[in-house]
Amino acid sequence: MSDRGSESNLHKKQRAARGSQPVLIVLSGPSGVGKDAVLTRMRRSGHPLHYVVTATTRPKRAREKDGVNYHFISREEFQQMIDRSQFLEWANVYGNYYGVPKTQMTLALSKGIDTIVKVDVQGATTIKKLLPQAVFIFLLPPSMEALEKRLKRRRSESPAELALRLEKAKEEARSLPLFDYVITSHQNKLDEVVAQIDAIIVTEKCRAKPRTVRL
């Protein structure tokens, strides 16, 4: 059977289980591990999920799209959202603010739609305390050397920023016990990473006692 056929079957299984409790997937991992690339591949493959778009004050990078990769907003707008308690969680990461809007998640889950949100490890730690019944997945780089190459390739950090991110990645790897699943993210094997996430969702749908996320 082809990979496309296998992927289609997994999608059918996910759709067939739509009547069960919706699953909230929290995807995390160090900066540069490939979280955006994985989500982009999942979107293009037609995965039946709601993708929560994080708000950020950092500048948009080349090829990023507002409303797809992030909601790029000003610091003033971000502060207004904080004042209105519109974030599930927010944090200052490398000098820029990132926040997960509550509304997107609440609406999707209330409609029974499986939902996935991408956050850094600090954000995952906060969400774990608030929503322990979510499914937490950690994307692990094949090695620190491979992660360094990825960060250098995107050319968005200075040498000092690069060193900081690599040091932070080593610290974040110690947070693995927080997560339910760990997937090694090989840059040239995106389909394998996506297939593993598919399998995790199907597995969670088969639980005798389903996780129930209450916002």
In a domain, 173, yes or no: yes
**Token representation of residue 2:** 């082809």
Determine the structural domain holding residue 13 and report its residue range.
3-55+112-205
Within a domain: residue 78? no
Q: Is residue 8 part of a domain?
A: yes
Residues paired with residue 25 on neighbouring β-strands, in sequence order: 116, 135
Burial of 137 (0-12, 13-18, 19+ CB in 10 A): buried
pLDDT in tens, 6-32: 445 555 554 444 447 899 999 999 988
Strand partners, 50: 115
Q: How many domains are there within the chain? A: 1
pLDDT at 93 over 90: no
Tell me, yes or no, whether 185 lies in a domain.
yes
pLDDT above 80 for 2: no
pLDDT digits (tens, 9 = 90+) for 121-154: 999 999 999 999 999 999 999 999 998 888 888 7
Instruction: Answer whether residue 134 is part of any domain.
Output: yes
What CATH number did the domain enclosing 177 receive?
A: 3.40.50.300
Q: What pLDDT, on a 0 to 100 scale, did the predictor assign at position 6?
A: 46
pLDDT recorded at residue 62: 85
Answer whether residue 106 is part of any domain: no
pLDDT tens sequence across 183-206: 999 888 999 999 999 999 999 999
Position 77 in a domain = no
**What's the predicted TM-score (pTM) here?**
0.85
Residue 103 in domain: no
pLDDT for 17: 47
> What pLDDT, on the 0 to 100 scale, is given for residue 176?
92
